[in-house]
Amino acid sequence: MVFTGNPGTGKTTVARIIGQIFASMASYGGGTWWRLTDRGLVAEFIGQTGPKTHAKIDEALDGVLFIDEAYSLVSKTARTPMAARPCRHC
């Protein structure tokens, strides 16, 4: 699911509630619910972001992974609109 809208309209709150509902359902593994921002996914140096992101996704398997402020993962200077930031200092 993707929640879009203006700042302050409750997107994060609604996503948190829905994520916790999904996590509590029997079909999801043990009720795990993860909330991450770019800090939890993007590493300090080039080459470290991929493994860090994979590790967080592996931790969240069979649960719910909520990426808050996901737009911050996109580089503002990239030539393609969906290019991810390779590191914090890039």
Residue 60: its pLDDT value, please? 83
Closest CA to 15 of 27, 24, 4, 29: 4
Residue 82: its pLDDT value, please? 45
16 burial via Cβ count (<10 Å: 0-12, 13-18, 19+) = middle
pLDDT in single tens digits along all 90 residues of the chain? 888 888 889 988 998 888 878 777 755 556 677 888 888 888 888 888 889 989 998 988 877 888 888 877 776 666 654 456 666 665
Residue 55: its pLDDT value, please? 92
Residue 79: its pLDDT value, please? 61
